[in-house]
Structure 1
Amino acid sequence: MASTGVRIGHGSTVRIGRGSTPTWTTLSGVQDFTFPNKAPNDVDVTSHDSPGNSEEFIAGLQTAPDWALSKHYVPEDAEDVLLQDLEESRELVLLEVTPVGATTPHVWQAWLKTWLPGVPVKDAMKGEATFKVLHKVVA
């Protein structure tokens, strides 16, 4: 670790929690990812008396973004079966992201929109899971 505390992201985890008392599954083979972008929409409140001949905006509701995650694909393993099941059921789950070195995970409620495995000829098989991220869960 550098003197500034910065480090590489290797060792971060992504887990899916199912049920009212969640049963957690740690996703393996996860590639690079960013956090879901929950930036609020801009609401235009410009009027004829807006100051300085300028547009005016206020913060609107936070978006429910799509969040894509690339991971290794192993046909019919437990994670593939889980992701197929979640894609079909549209079940609400907990999506937990813990960056390496963090003590408190970030948790959102979400549902899986798509699980798209890829089968290239000359590369490792990977799939992309796309979640609809609803809101942050506060413990």
Structure 2
Amino acid sequence: MRRLYIVGASALISGLALSAAYAEEVKIGVVMGFTGPVESMIPAMASGAELAMKEASDSGKFLDGSTITPVRADSTCIDNTAAVAATERLVTSDGVKAIVGGDCSGVTGAMIAQVALPNGIVMISPSATSPGLSTVEDNGL
């Protein structure tokens, strides 16, 4: 019986160690118009997204204990070139695995077409409202 307990305890410890080994930091981009015509609305939107990420991380239930780290970038809301460059930096330099944003429909469309889709990155926008965004080919993302 003692041997069974030792084997069981060893299996449990190994499982916990294995689970901890798979826990990692997952970066999620928050790309919104921190500057530009909607900047007064952005602090609450960004903070709401980051609070949800913190709650998921703190629960310990996200991807076997992985933590979520938000990484901010400025879409400007109106400058497609700046929004695409900021999103590209998040994906290529910062290594984000998903993106919350953009905030305005025009930059969101550019971010999807030029960065998210080509790199297999999932995006969810809290405020882009163009009906055209709902028919964008998403390749199953």
Which TM-score bucket, shorter chain as reference? under 0.3
Higher helix share: 2
TM-score normalised per structure 2: 0.27
TM-score normalised per structure 1: 0.27
